[in-house]
Amino acid sequence: MTSSPRPTRTRKQPGERTAEIVQTSARIALAEGLERITLRRVADELGVRPGLIGHYFPAADDLVVAAFVHAATGERDALLPPAEAELPPAVLLARFLTRLTDGPYQDLSRLWLNARHLSRFKPGLRAAVRTQETVTRDALTALIADGARTGAFTTDDPLAAALHVLVAVDGLGAYANDDQPFEHPALGDLALTTAERVLGLAPGSLRALASDPGGSPTR
- Res. 8 pLDDT band, cuts 50 70 90: very low
Domain contains 198: yes
Domain contains 11: no
Amino acid type, 215? G
What angle is formed at CA 141 by the lines to CA 71 and CA 209, rounded to 5 degrees? Answer: 85
CATH at 150:
1.10.357.10
CA 149 to chain centre: 27
CA dihedral 12, 14, 17, 19 (to 10 degrees): -140
pTM: 0.85
Q: For position 10, what pLDDT does the model report?
A: 60
Structural domain count of the chain = 1
The alpha helices in 103-122, defined as continuous H runs, are: 106-118
Q: For position 7, what pLDDT does the model report?
A: 42
Domain contains 216: no
Amino acid type, 124? G
Domain contains 133: yes
Q: For position 127, what pLDDT does the model report?
A: 98
Domain contains 34: no
Max avg pLDDT among 7-11, 106-110, 136-140 = 136-140
CA 12 to chain centre: 28
Domain that holds residue 182: 62-211
Domain contains 88: yes
Domain contains 6: no
- Res. 103 pLDDT band, cuts 50 70 90: low
- Give tens-digit pLDDT for 9-52: 567 898 999 999 999 999 999 999 999 999 999 999 999 999 99
Give one DSSP letter per residue of 24-91, joined into a string: HHHHHHHHH-GGG--HHHHHHHHTS-HHHHHHH-SSHHHHHHHHHHHHHHHHHHHHS-GGGTTS-HHH
Q: For position 210, what pLDDT does the model report?
A: 85
Domain contains 113: yes
